Amino acid sequence: MRDRIVILSDTHMGRPDAVARSPQMLRPLWQGASAVVINGDVAEVHDPRYRVLAAKQVLELHDLCERDDVELTLLSGNHDPYISDARHLLLADGSVFVTHGDSLHPAIAPWSPSAARVRQAHDRAMASLHPEDRGTLAARLSATQHSAHEHWAQFEKALQHSASRQLLVRPWMVFEVLWYWHSIPGLAQRFAKDHAPGARFFIFGHTHRQGIWHREGITLINTGSFGFPGRPRAVVIEGGRLSVYRIRRRGDAFCFADRALAEFSLSASTISNSKGAA
């Protein structure tokens, strides 16, 4: 019986300029697997410019996985906050914590022109909860889901500003992104400690900055993105091991690099055979 789980993120399907132009390009990544998880920002279903194509590609994704007898799990992210009711997973008896990563900061993307509005929507959502519930994982994820949806509800008013245009009119945004990237390992470590204290691995995406970091007994793994800057990675859980692979594009399909970038034992209390943290 197959026992192989493949975890990806940030495929951003539906964009005409997307690196992952179709689910068919992703199909080789789950061959031989029992399950595939796409950890948020699966498709641009909340972007009014791309939602029709994005919805079609999500249906195709489901169809391909069904044909291949692979269980598909979609976790929602900030670009598709209601694509799924699922916002996180605990795998390998709770040692692996998986969530998109947009909940690490109340503004979701603190460098964005809409960051202040997103944070206000997040704070309103948190304030509406019972005080005893506000520190829970469910509350954090629900507030982020709500504020992401509010962002897209207002997005059509600002369609004239593309990402490149924003960089021109707000050049300091580059430094804000770099500072957030610098802060991510610390934010992720604290988030995991608060909401999945039994986990030894925290897998997330969202920031588009791939990486592996070790902080206070937990290994933090960001799987990068199929969008800009386009350096996606995959996590594979199989046979009591967790492996991280670079993803390569060969023609019109994606595949794993020949060797794992890093490998860890899920049963050992210490890191096993780690090959790097970049």
Tokens of 111: 């460098």
**Distance in angstroms (rounded) separating the CA atoms of residues 118 and 114:** 6
The mean of the pLDDT values for the chain is: 89
pLDDT at 2: 64
Please state which architecture CATH assigns to domain 4-101+184-265.
4-Layer Sandwich (3.60)
Contact 65, 36 (CB under 8 A): yes
C-alpha torsion sign, points 147, 151, 152, 154: positive
Q: What is the pLDDT of residues 45-88, one digit of tens each?
A: 988 889 999 999 999 999 999 999 999 999 999 999 999 999 99
* Domain spans in the chain, listed from the N-terminal domain onward: 4-101+184-265
pTM assigned to the model: 0.90
pLDDT band at 268 (very low <50, low <70, confident <90, very high): low
Measure CA 22 to chain center.
18
pLDDT at 174: 74
Q: What is the pLDDT of residues 221-259, one digit of tens each?
A: 999 999 877 799 999 999 999 999 999 999 999 999 999
